[in-house]
Structure 1
Amino acid sequence: MNLKFSITYNSTLGRCLFICGAGERFGEWNTLKAHKMKYKGESKWIAEMEFADSSARIEYKYVECNDDGTAPNWELGKNRVIEIAPPVEFAEIADTWQAKDNNAMVISSSAFKKVVFKRDVDAKKFAIPALKSKKSKMVIFEVATPKIMPGHTIVLVGSCPELGSWDTDKSVAMTEVNPYVWRVAVEIDSAWKVEYKYAVLEPRKMTVMETGDNRSINLREMKYSFILKKDQNFNYGSLEYRGAGLAIPVFSIRTQKSCGVGDFADIKLLVDWCKKVGINMLQLLPVNDTVSTHTWVDSYPYGGISVFALHPMYINIDALGNLPFGAASKEFQERRKILNSLPSVDYEAVMKEKSIIYKKAYDYQKEKFLADSGYQKFFKENEDWLVPYAAFSYLRDLYKTPDYTKWGTYAVYDKRKIEELVSPKANQYDDIAVHYYIQYQLHKQLLDASCYARENGVFLKGDLPIGIIRNSIDAWVAPHLYNMGSQAGAPPDDYAADGQNWGFPTYNWDEMAKDNYKWWRNRLTHMAKYFDAYRIDHLLGFFRIWQMPYEAISGLLGNFYPALPISKEEIIAAGLPFDDKILCNPLITKEIISNRFKGSEDAIIKTYLKEISPDRYALKDEFKTQRLIDENIKITSGISEKEKAELLVTKKALSNLLVDVLFIKDKSGAYHPRIEINKTESFKALKDETGKKVYDLYLDYFYKRQEGLWREQAMVKLPALAKSTDMLVCGEDLGMVPNCVPGVMDELGLLSLKIQRMPKEGTFGVTQNYPYLSVCTPSCHDMSTVRGWWEEDRGKTQRFYNEILHCEGNPPYYCEPWVVERIISDHLNSSCMWAVFPIQDLIGIDEKLRLENPNDERINVPSIPHHYWRYRLHLTLEDLMNEKEFNSKLRLLITTSGRNTIRY
């Protein structure tokens, strides 16, 4: 069998094209051994190869290299695979270089392939027919169609009679040999040069031609009688799919069968509603177990004790079976009714109720459960994380603290000791195995909801938190992967003026890189069981993270990690007098003390400060860090509310003194300018010329010198993550965004986030100018809803009303339904691939359905360190399903905007 490969490619001067792939003939994927192609002029490359066998399966790709096969530049896309069998003895494969196509990269994700453009097609054996005439040639046309709606098919039409002579009624039907891959064999003897196009045949028999110039093939140039013409992708032109999504935490869902909180089974009814109104993305907050203290503090969904385990709160009691003390119990039904009638989630009451039931359920079902083959398979596949999780949960409750450093002999994770602890022969085995039971039930329920969603054209989008909490299974098992002496957070932004301190240890990226980020890859592979897309919480953390020492509490005392700090020599070279004490210690003078502590200056100085030079003070050693201030200024139970309030004000004011520095010195002895340095008293006290020199260093540090480093960091980490699954990847790229971020996201096909009131530039984003590869939303869980925001700042509301909504005069005091509808419509009509809406904002278009007070709809307030995450939809989904007028209106808004379809 003889094969001739041909491809048109504009190579770089001095470079060559190779075919590289599986098998010795193709170099075993080693470019140094690959088959070099011959250049034939006019950018055409060929390679002729002879095979001893009459049948062959060939897997390969094209790659541009130096003449010796070094410095490879591979074409993108999946490996090419062709199968040749009799009657073909001589064939030519005419390929098209698989160039970078960000849209195609995104469309190839499981969100589209498994859901939006799902094709119920099994791989078909494609038989190449024998030639009827020796004068003709058999051309096998092949094209990929990553974007094609269910029920649509592909046809071929062209200039010769065999292809219908451009008459679409005589077009040639193609066969979908694999999902999204179409092929047809046509024997041509009427013309040597053939022009052609592919077209979509819709169910209503309307044929829509692809855009762009005609494709062509010159059969006279073809040496052999059998030609495989592989075209890369259908030319859609500007026709892009745009979808609509819903954002809601699972805990916020309310159904008639809930138990005071949304659960995984409730997702199915929410999917039914999404399908009814034309929504096909369901965006959730993290659903991992956060149980640390058994109090409402654990309601924080980003405080997961495991990146794998699911939260027991989301278990559906009914799905555990007909338990005499569960769904079948009158007492349970009464307690459920009480919990479900509450306006918001009572976290502690819900967890108490559910934990009693599922622990009893384990005792009731354990023999059957432990012998169940499905459970045994689940255990075997998840043992690596499941066993440490169960052990951690048991020890947390035994020692009554999640702080594993206080667990005596178990303070340092020892696999051998844990194996003894969890042994089925151990007395405490039931206290261990109950956690296996809970996780298995949660797994089944979430997987069931996910599969149901996929079957109904809706996919789940998960949330990938940027950090892990300090007292977590992950930190206990592998502390070497984290910088336990540091804390992650965010610099000041619209969410929090003083920045944020999340308390998470930062990642030891160098250690993680040693096994190509296995921890991250395992985490994402696990997520992909349930989700077809995910949002990277704080994407910027993969470029650099805002890091604070453990001694700090305020986000203002952070610096970027990794970063290129400023050396002592650079400070001196900038013309600044170098004095470590002045640069890195806060400026505390009598005047500043008087301004901050009016009326109590003398008492403050006496109790907390010491004079270090004339009119220059420092905090005493026992209060010299924010952590020490927090620990050593105790608020006892015996003091009055007034005294308590005064102490809290004092603690806050003393902590604020410590952020008033010019530079932050790191462990290496280098320096990082304090964020917003120009707002510090230390900066204001500088002479104009000195202040300018300091500020020049500040601007260079934050906006220039780090760009190359941060891009390099992201391009090492993010590809490893993105390639580990086929989930659609969306980034939360808000805040202080480095200039290199948009380019990296574009290169990797990551969708950016656009929030109208948090634009990269200006006061408001203009939805019509948003890029296609992005997700737009009017609000998110970390901010007020559209209605809440409308009432916060009358000046901004006025500008938005006049400049964005293009309305004259004064805006209505309250955000009336028509205003919310205009904002929703603007987002739907944007060019963004996805327009996602919090359910509160969607309901805001209906006067009868929405809550009276928009502040009751807020999910989180980032400026509150320990916020109670308890928002719950005030309507049941059963009631929402029956709101015909609202549902029809919403569906009309979505469909008329052109979302949830491709309009050819």
Structure 2
Amino acid sequence: MLRGFGVLLHISSLPGGCLAGDLGPSAYKFAEFLSKAEATYWQILPLSHTLPEYDDSPYSAVSLLAGNPALISLEKMAQDGLLVRSPPKCPSVERTSFAESWELKRRYVEEAFETKLGWRDYEEFIAENSWWLESYGRYMALRETFRVPWIQWPEWARRLNTPLPPKLAKLAEFYKYVQYVFWRQWDDLKRYVNSLGIFIIGDLPIYPALDSADVWEGRRYFKLAPDGTPLYVSGVPPDYYSPTGQLWGTPVYNWEELRRDRYVWWTRRLTRMLSLFDYLRLDHFRGYVSYWEVPYGEPTAVRGRWAPGPGEELFKAVEETLPRLIAEDLGFITPDVVELRRRLGIPGMRVLQFAWDGNPANEHKPHNYERNLVAYTGTHDNNTIVGWWREETTPRSRREALAYIGGCGREINWCFIRLLFSTVADVAVVPIQDVLGLGSEARINKPGTLRGNWKWKLAKDPPINFAVRLRRLAKLYGR
């Protein structure tokens, strides 16, 4: 990756939009903010179709490949000639509401669908993406009908190829049209961002949710009982974030079955994602070497076990994609994980918030960085720098950090940004919350908690003076 810097801001956290940040004007304005800062990268979270039942987590989505309908912009639909009537005036909100956003927008998308607006382009989209769209559309139609995950559907509905009644077939077609609208808007935004000299870093969760088209369609590739109930679910053992570990609850892969099919199911998804983003962060990279599986029904992740992953064999199947991948190698990392990442040439991640434990050999301390890294002040799973400094650090860790930095004035966030930019890591990424100096009220996710995450939203576009400050630091440190 080119030496440079980026800002982490998810689409749903953009200001404006209808009850959620979306792919409309605010996204383009933020791209212009990045351009004024002379940033190289814009990092986002997964764009996946989320569900309110799972707190709208983009890491527990109904499809790894489907975009979130709540992020569709009605203003952009109007610009593209896909609205039958003028879009409404949307109320300003302090927190993203995915369900209400989609409820409002759905009526307008349904009208475009019924009128067959953009139909020729839609049919081309279907032809190129039918390998995942057919099962996704079918899944959404059935799920909307039964309102429960697929393992609770009637037997006829659980079968993949049973013809749908006409009403359900039309609903499945509608959901495919929704995806056409979403990815058309995304393609336009990406082209604009790239025209400004900025690359987009996307994010691929390692596991799909049990309640997803991915698992329903590819169930033999997961460790499931005959009735679809998981035998094991995913998570991580106790770590920095949680003394009882993290119980993600998604089914884990049956890597032997994937290997028999030469990993085609998995590599098609990776290849599709890399057609949408310039670079792709692989969530939980260590899970490709070995992963923590917890017997289904356990209340926490403590009583799990390590099981072997596919390792290098999987990545040899997609060798041409390696220069565009980033490994999220945080948490409990063993030497075999480090060795695989380095053999593949994939950059890893470092986080300044993890550096202050009194250990000079801590890999998160800047003097231990290498060039092939993406370094952060904090990730989407961390508190903001200001919130962390005020609420989570100890007096000892604060003294160590200040001694390392050489002192700091009032803006602790900018002291950490300066330190990050000064490192040898090829890429430095700063969450927009740290650029703006926001506190813990702006935290977007708290691992180990099940409610209230993913809702944070900017109230207004970031002021231009922050772009100027970023640009000055970038020039000073060759970014």
Is residue 731 of structure 1 aligned with residue 327 of structure 2?
A: yes
- CA–CA distance in structure 2, aligned partners of residues 451 and 744 of structure 1: 33
Question: Which digits, 9 at most, give the CA deviation of each residue in 1:673-719, with x for residues without a partner?
Answer: xxxxxxxxxxxxxxxxxxxxxxxxxxxxxxxxxxxxx7xx4122233
Contact kept in structure 2, 1:369 and 1:437, CA below 8 Å: no
- CA–CA distance in structure 1, aligned partners of residues 466 and 332 of structure 2: 39
Pairing 1:63-462 to 2, within 5 Å after superposition: 241-255=2-16, 258-265=17-24, 266-291=26-51, 295=52, 297-321=54-78, 328-329=86-87, 332-333=88-89, 336=90, 338=91, 341-363=92-114, 365-366=115-116, 368-370=117-119, 372=120, 374-401=121-148, 403-415=149-161, 417=162, 420-421=163-164, 426-462=166-202
1:320 Cα deviation from its structure 2 partner: 2.1
Contact kept in structure 1, 2:23 and 2:76, CA below 8 Å: no
- CA–CA distance in structure 2, aligned partners of residues 885 and 390 of structure 1: 45
Question: Which digits, 9 at most, give the CA deviation of each residue in 1:224-254, with x for residues without a partner?
Answer: xxxxxxxxxxxxxxxxx51101111110011
- CA–CA distance in structure 1, aligned partners of residues 334 and 135 of structure 2: 38
SS of equivalent residue, structure 2 residue 12? helix
Pairing 1:531-550 to 2, within 5 Å after superposition: 531-550=277-296
SS of equivalent residue, structure 1 residue 460? strand
Is residue 896 of structure 1 aligned with residue 476 of structure 2?
A: yes
Which residue of structure 1 aligns with residue 456 of structure 2? 871
Which residue of structure 2 aligns with residue 842 of structure 1? 435
1:777 Cα deviation from its structure 2 partner: 0.5
Q: Which has the higher helix share?
A: 2
Contact kept in structure 2, 1:318 and 1:326, CA below 8 Å: no
Is residue 519 of structure 1 aligned with residue 278 of structure 2?
A: no
- CA–CA distance in structure 2, aligned partners of residues 483 and 770 of structure 1: 38
Task: Tell me the amino acid that sits aligned with residue 310 of structure 1.
Answer: G
Contact kept in structure 2, 1:532 and 1:727, CA below 8 Å: no
Contact kept in structure 1, 2:41 and 2:201, CA below 8 Å: yes
1:492 Cα deviation from its structure 2 partner: 0.8
Question: Which digits, 9 at most, give the CA deviation of each residue in 1:605-650, with x for residues without a partner?
Answer: xxxxxxxxxxxxxxxxxxxxxxxxxxxxxxxxxxxxxxxxxxxxxx
- CA–CA distance in structure 2, aligned partners of residues 327 and 734 of structure 1: 48
Question: Which digits, 9 at most, give the CA deviation of each residue in 1:819-846, with x for residues without a partner?
Answer: 22221111101000100000011112xx
1:753 Cα deviation from its structure 2 partner: 0.4
Is residue 823 of structure 1 aligned with residue 419 of structure 2?
A: no
1:380 Cα deviation from its structure 2 partner: 1.1
- CA–CA distance in structure 1, aligned partners of residues 167 and 298 of structure 2: 43
1:733 Cα deviation from its structure 2 partner: 0.6
Of 313, 322, 326 in structure 2, the residue corresponding to residue 716 of structure 1 is 313
SS of equivalent residue, structure 1 residue 345? coil
Pairing 1:619-698 to 2, within 5 Å after superposition: none
- CA–CA distance in structure 1, aligned partners of residues 323 and 266 of structure 2: 14
SS of equivalent residue, structure 1 residue 342? coil
- CA–CA distance in structure 1, aligned partners of residues 347 and 126 of structure 2: 35
Return closer, same or farther for 1:551/1:758 CA change in 2, 3 Å cut-off: same
The alignment covers a number of residue pairs equal to 467
SS of equivalent residue, structure 1 residue 513? helix
Return closer, same or farther for 1:298/1:359 CA change in 2, 3 Å cut-off: farther
Contact kept in structure 1, 2:63 and 2:214, CA below 8 Å: yes
Of 445, 459, 476 in structure 2, the residue corresponding to residue 860 of structure 1 is 445
Q: Which has the higher strand share?
A: 1
SS of equivalent residue, structure 2 residue 214? helix
Contact kept in structure 2, 1:404 and 1:476, CA below 8 Å: yes
Return closer, same or farther for 1:760/1:716 CA change in 2, 3 Å cut-off: farther
Question: Which digits, 9 at most, give the CA deviation of each residue in 1:364-400, with x for residues without a partner?
Answer: x22x444x1x221211111121111111111111112
- CA–CA distance in structure 2, aligned partners of residues 324 and 248 of structure 1: 27
Of 202, 208, 211 in structure 2, the residue corresponding to residue 471 of structure 1 is 211
- CA–CA distance in structure 2, aligned partners of residues 479 and 841 of structure 1: 41
Which residue of structure 2 aligns with residue 201 of structure 1? none
Question: Which digits, 9 at most, give the CA deviation of each residue in 1:183-231, with x for residues without a partner?
Answer: xxxxxxxxxxxxxxxxxxxxxxxxxxxxxxxxxxxxxxxxxxxxxxxxx
Greater C-alpha Rg: 1
- CA–CA distance in structure 2, aligned partners of residues 412 and 309 of structure 1: 20
Task: Tell me the amino acid that sits aligned with residue 417 of structure 2.
Answer: I
Question: Which digits, 9 at most, give the CA deviation of each residue in 1:419-455, with x for residues without a partner?
Answer: x227xxx344432221121110111111111111112
Runs of 4+ in 1 over 4 A off after TM superposition: 322-327, 759-764
- Residue range with higher mean Cα deviation, 345-354 or 531-540: 345-354
Contact kept in structure 2, 1:247 and 1:284, CA below 8 Å: yes
Question: Which digits, 9 at most, give the CA deviation of each residue in 1:448-479, with x for residues without a partner?
Answer: 11111112111111101011111211111121
Task: Tell me the amino acid that sits aligned with residue 256 of structure 2.
Answer: D
Residue ranges of structure 1 left out of the alignment (5+ in a row) = 1-106, 108-240, 563-709, 845-850, 900-904
Contact kept in structure 2, 1:300 and 1:867, CA below 8 Å: no
Contact kept in structure 2, 1:531 and 1:727, CA below 8 Å: no
Taking only the aligned residue pairs, the percentage that are identical comes to 27
Return closer, same or farther for 1:384/1:551 CA change in 2, 3 Å cut-off: same
- CA–CA distance in structure 2, aligned partners of residues 451 and 885 of structure 1: 26
Of 381, 397, 400 in structure 2, the residue corresponding to residue 800 of structure 1 is 400
Which residue of structure 2 aligns with residue 697 of structure 1? none
Which residue of structure 1 aligns with residue 227 of structure 2? none
Higher RCO structure (Cα 8 Å, ≥6 apart): 2
Of 388, 399, 402 in structure 2, the residue corresponding to residue 789 of structure 1 is 388
SS of equivalent residue, structure 1 residue 494? coil
